[in-house]
Amino acid sequence: MPVSRSRRTLTRAATLMLAFGMVAVVHPAYSEEPSAFDEGASSEQQGGSDSTGIYATAKIQYSGSVAKSGATGNVTSSDVNWTPPPCWYAPYLGAKDFKKKMSESIDDAMSTPGMGGTAGAAIGELQRHYEDDYGWTDTPGYKDYNVDKDGEGMFWAAVENPNEPDVLKRTSCTDIPF
C-alpha cells in the first residue's frame, strides 16, 4: 500500500511529539513556585526498551497547591472532549529485533498449509520488501531490514486502541510496518 504524503507528515509530526514528550518526561514536575519545604508536586519517571518495543511512564503527584498564594484548585484537561483515535502508528522495534520478529512471522505464514496462490505471492512480496530492497510507489524497500542502520531509528507499526468498540475502525491502520 502506498504511503501518502500526509501519512509521512503525520509520521514526522508523531516523531517530533514523541521526542518532545520524552524530554518532558525526564524533568521533574513542580508547581509554579514550590510551597514551603519544597512541597507541592513530585514526579517519577521510567523508560527503556525490550524485544517488544520502547516504553515510557511518568507518575506525577499533585497536592492541590499550585497558585502563588498557596490556594488550592483542581487540575483539568484543556480539551475534555478529546478521545484517542481508533488506531495510530508508533515506534515498534529496532532493525535487528524487527528482522528477528518479522522473519519468524513470514516463515510461519509461508509454512502454513494453503498459503499458495495469491496469499503466498503476497507473503513473498512482503519478504522481498524487507530483505531485497523491493519497494513500490512512495514506499521504498529495505536491504536486509536495514540492519546496518540499527540504532539510528525504529520501525513503526500500527497500534489498535483497545477501547475502540468498532473492530473495523480499530483495525483501520493497515500500512505494513515502516
Q: Cα–chain-centroid distance for residue 3?
A: 17
Grid cell in block for residue 137: 510507489
The verdict on 89 and 77 lying in the same domain is no
Name the domain boundary from 82, 114, 136. Answer: 82
Residue 91 · residue 18 · CB < 8 Å: yes
Decide if pLDDT at 75 tops 50. yes
State what percent of residues in the chain have pLDDT above 70.
Answer: 61
Q: What's the pLDDT at 76?
A: 60
The verdict on 177 and 101 lying in the same domain is yes
Q: What are phi and psi of 17, to 5 degrees?
A: -65, -40
The Cα–Cα gap between 167 and 161 comes to 10
Decide if pLDDT at 2 tops 70. no
Mean pLDDT confidence for 135-147: 92
Q: What's the pLDDT at 51?
A: 72
- DSSP-derived letter for residue 43 is E
Mean pLDDT confidence for 115-131: 92
H or E stretch at 26: helix 5-26
Q: What's the pLDDT at 49?
A: 73
Decide if pLDDT at 121 tops 80. yes
> Domain limits at 75?
1-82
The Cα–Cα gap between 29 and 40 comes to 10
The verdict on 59 and 118 lying in the same domain is no
Strand partners, 90: 157
> What's the number of domains the chain is made of?
2
Q: What's the pLDDT at 16?
A: 37
The verdict on 177 and 96 lying in the same domain is yes
| This model's pTM is above 0.75 | no
The verdict on 89 and 74 lying in the same domain is no
Decide if pLDDT at 132 tops 90. yes
The verdict on 109 and 70 lying in the same domain is no
